[in-house]
Amino acid sequence: MNSPTQKAPSLQATGGTALPRGSALLANPLLNKGTAFPEEERDALGLRGLLPPRVFSLEEQLVRAYTNFKRKSEPLEQYIFLTLLQNRNETLFYKLLETYPEEMIPIIYTPTVGQACLDYGVIFRRPRGLFISIRERGRIAEVLRHWPQTDVRMIVVTDGERILGLGDLGVLGMGIPVGKLSLYTSCAGLHPSYCLPITLDVGTNNESLHDSPTYLGLSQTRVRGAEYDAFIEEFVTAVKQVFPKTLLQWEDFGNTNAFRLLNNYQKRICSFNDDIQGTAAVALAGLISALRITGKPLTEQKLLFLGAGEAGTGIADLFTTAAVAAGMTESDARARCWFVDSQGLVVQDRLPNLAHHKLPYAQNHPPLTSLAEAVESIRPTALIGVSGMPETFTDAIIARMAEFNERPIVFALSNPTSKAECTAEAAYRMSNGRAIFASGSPFAAVDWKGQTFVPGQGNNVYIFPGVGLGALVVEATEITEQMFLAAARTLAELVTEDDLALGRIYPSLTRVREVSVLIATAVAKEAIHSGLAGLVIADDQVEDAVRQSVFHPAYRPYI
C-alpha cells in the first residue's frame, strides 16, 4: 500500500519510442500534425516536400476543420468527416470536440452513432480498434499484442448483440466502442493512446446481415453456452495478461449475457457495464435534480419503468442503494420500483417465469397487461422509459401523469431519438408545461405558452468518462455501486438554479469536462475510502491528481 500522501503519477501518455519519419509519421494519427509541422521539424523528420509549404497553427487548422464540418448537411456525413479526421490527426479531432462539445457529441455518439452503426459496412473506410472473432479462440492474447500501443488503460468491448435500441448488429456495432472511447478523451481527458475499442464477433442472429454484401463479420448465428463462456473467459484472462492496468467497460451486450458477465467478472478485473450502471447513475442524478423542483424527498418517490432490461433494473438497483442511504430498508426501497415489460406488469404471479434480474422487483399486485393500466393503478411520481419502443408514452398517459402529479417526472431514455418513448414537445404539451422531462438523445428547446424549456439529456457521457478516469487515477481494483452513487450525487450537485429554471436537470454539455473531473474526484475518493485503491492519496490532493492526469489536445514539439 502506498503512503497516504503519495501523489498519483500523471495518466498523461509520454510515448518513449522513436518517432517515425516522413510519410510514416504523417500516417500516425496520434503523432501527425499535418500542416502544423514547423519548418525545423519538416527538415529533421523527413517531411520536406510531403506537405504544402505554409505552416498553420492548431487554432488555424481548427477553423478550417470546423468550416468543413459545417459544410456537411447531413449528420451521417458529419460523422464520416469526423471519423476521417480522427484517423488522420487525433489532436485536431479532439481540439474540435473540446471546442464545440454540444455540436460534436450528438454526432460522434447518440443519436447519430446509431445510424452510423446501421451503415457501418457501407461507410467503412479504415479499421479502428480490434476485431476478435470466435475463430481466434486460443490466440486472443496474440491478437491483443497486435495493437500498436502497449500501455492500454481503457477497453470498451461489445459483442454487438444489443446496439442502443437497434438490436443485434454484430460487428456493425463497433461504432459504439469507438464513440465511447472518443468521449473518454474529449470529456474526461483520457489520453487517446490509452484507449482500445474491441468488438467480439461470435456471429449475429440478425439474419438479414448473413447474406449482406456489406456485412463485415461472420455470417453465422450467435455462439451461445459453454463455447461463448470459454471465449469470454479467454478474453478476460488475456486482457489481464497483456494490459494489466486496464479498466474494462462492457458495452451493449444482450440481456442474456450482460448481467451474468458483470457479476462474474467485476471482482476479477476492474470493470463495469455502462448500460446497467452508467445509465443508472445518470438517471438517478436526473431524479435527484428533479426533486429540487418538486420539493419531495427521494424516499417518497414511486418509479414506474417501461422496460425491464439492463437499463431499467440498473436504475432501480441504484435508486435502492440511494434510498437505503437515505434511511429506507432495502425491501421498502425496492417496493417503490415497478416494471412493465412485454408481458405486462412484473408481479409475483408471474413467478417462476421471470428472468433473474427482474425477481427483486416482482411486486405483490394483480396482473396488468398495459402501461396505461399500470399508470392508473400505481400512480407513479416518475415514469421512466427504457424500452426502445417509440411513442409508448402516449398523450393520454402523460396527461394522466399530470393529473395526479403537480410536476410529473417523465424520462424517455431510449436511444437513438427514433426510439424515444415520447418527444419533449409531447411531454410539455400534455402536462401544460409542468412535466420535468429528460431524454436519452437530445431534443430541441420547446416554446410553450411563452416559456422556453430546454430538455435535459440523460446522456451517459456525464457519468462514464469521469468514473473511468477516477478509477484509473487511483488504480482501483473494483468499481462498486457506491462509486456510481457518488458519481450521481456529484452530477446532481452541478445542476444550477439557472439550469432548473429552464427545465434542464443536467448541466450544459459545455461543462462536461469540468463535470468529469469532479466526478472522477468523487469516485477516486470513494475507491480510497473503501480500500479498493491501489494508489492511496490524501483527500485534499485527489482533485489535483485528477487534473494533472487530464489530456489537453495540443501539439508538442518533436525536436
Per-residue pLDDT of 260-292, as tens digits, reads 999 999 999 999 999 999 999 999 999 999 999
> Which amino acid is residue 155, in one-letter code?
I
Cell numbers 481494483 correspond to 477
pLDDT value of position 15: 47
Query: pLDDT band for position 6 (50/70/90)?
Result: very low
What mean pLDDT is predicted for residues 516-529?
A: 98
Per annotation, catalytic residue among 79, 94, 109, 215: 109
pLDDT at 512 over 50: yes
Concerning whether 228 is annotated as a catalytic residue, the answer is no
State the Cα angle at 558 between 555 and 559, rounded to 5°: 135
Sign (positive or negative) of CA dihedral 209, 183, 500, 311: positive
SS3 319: helix
For residues 440 and 422, give the distance between their C-alpha atoms in angstroms, rounded to a whole number. 11
pLDDT value of position 9: 39
For residues 391 and 395, give the distance between their C-alpha atoms in angstroms, rounded to a whole number. 9
For residues 448 and 159, give the distance between their C-alpha atoms in angstroms, rounded to a whole number. 43
- Smallest Cα–Cα separation from 471: which of 399, 533, 406? 533
Q: Which residues of 303-317 are buried (b: 16+ CB within 10 A; e: fewer)?
A: bbbbbbbbbbbbbbb
Per annotation, catalytic residue among 33, 95, 180, 419: 180
- Smallest Cα–Cα separation from 423: which of 453, 467, 393, 400? 393
Determine the longest span between alpha carbons in the chain, in angstroms.
79
pLDDT at 169 over 80: yes
What mean pLDDT is predicted for residues 510-535?
A: 97
Structural contact between residues 395 and 431, judged by C-beta atoms closer than 8 angstroms: no
Structural contact between residues 198 and 219, judged by C-beta atoms closer than 8 angstroms: no
What mean pLDDT is predicted for residues 82-92?
A: 97
Sign (positive or negative) of CA dihedral 354, 359, 361, 367: positive
Per-residue pLDDT of 313-352, as tens digits, reads 999 999 999 999 999 999 999 999 999 999 999 999 998 8
Q: Domains along the chain?
A: 107-269 (3.40.50.10380), 277-462 (3.40.50.720)
Q: Give the contacts of 280 (CB within 8 A, at least 6 positions apart).
A: 311, 314, 315, 316, 317, 318, 319, 484, 488
The percent of the chain in helix, strand and coil, each rounded to the nearest 5, is 50, 10, 40
- The pTM score is 0.93
Instruction: Tell how strand 303-306 and strand 382-385 pair up.
Output: parallel
pLDDT value of position 18: 79
Higher pLDDT, 3 or 485: 485
pLDDT at 100 over 50: yes
Q: Give the contacts of 71 (CB within 8 A, at least 6 positions apart).
A: none
Per-residue pLDDT of 202-252, as tens digits, reads 999 999 999 999 999 999 999 999 999 999 999 999 999 999 999 999 999
Neighbour tally for 501: CB within 10 Å: 11
For residues 81 and 138, give the distance between their C-alpha atoms in angstroms, rounded to a whole number. 37
pLDDT value of position 228: 98
- Helix axes of 255-265 and 225-242: crossing angle, nearest 10 degrees: 40
Q: List, in sequence order, every beta strand (DSSP E) within 326-476.
A: 337-341, 344-345, 382-385, 409-412, 436-439, 446-448, 451-453, 456-457
Query: pLDDT band for position 353 (50/70/90)?
Result: confident
Average pLDDT in the chain = 95
pLDDT value of position 17: 60
Q: Which residues of 235-253 are buried (b: 16+ CB within 10 A; e: fewer)?
A: bbebbbebbeebbbbbbbb
pLDDT value of position 2: 34
Neighbour tally for 448: CB within 10 Å: 15
Alpha helices in 379-455 (DSSP H): 395-403, 424-430
pLDDT at 11 over 90: no
Alpha carbon distances (Å) from 252 to 161, 257, 462: 7, 10, 18
SS3 533: strand
> What does the block give as the cell for 191?
489520453
pLDDT value of position 3: 31
Concerning whether 109 is annotated as a catalytic residue, the answer is yes
What mean pLDDT is predicted for residues 73-96?
A: 97
Q: Which residues of 328-358 are buried (b: 16+ CB within 10 A; e: fewer)?
A: beeeebbebbbbbbeebbbbeeeeeebeebb
Structural contact between residues 35 and 54, judged by C-beta atoms closer than 8 angstroms: yes
Structural contact between residues 490 and 284, judged by C-beta atoms closer than 8 angstroms: no
